[in-house]
Amino acid sequence: MSVDLLEHDGSIFKNVSSRELKRVRGFTVGDYVVLGPWLGRIDDVFDNVTVMFDDGSVCKVMKADPLHLKPVGRNGLEDGHFPFYPGQRVKASFIVSFQEFQMVIWLIESK
């Protein structure tokens, strides 16, 4: 089966095979998962946000609260189930406390 896809800028990709389509996220709330003989259901999904600072240092904020994040620019994939997508630029709408910054993993530290 082929589909036509509408981009956020209005352009259209025609005759895209549905086999080439992928989910925005690997898992979502309500999905069922299997591990060996065990069957489970996803109850919650957490977002991790990678932050790049002006000095080039980079850290990953674990379990970032999506209520404190706002998209930079227009969100081309607006969807009630997925407020953000991988690679999207966001800004924080609050000052990060010292305790919250203890929950980060530094990927690149400034020199």
Q: What is the mean pLDDT of residues 3-13?
A: 84
Range of the domain at 50: 46-111
Q: Domain total for the chain?
A: 2
Q: Are residues 105 and 95 in the same domain?
A: yes
**18/41 same-domain check:** yes
The reply to whether the predicted model has a pTM over 0.75 is no
- Same domain for 63 and 21? no
Q: Which tens digit of pLDDT belongs to each residue from 53-73?
A: 888 888 888 887 777 788 887
Provide the token pair at 15. 């005759």
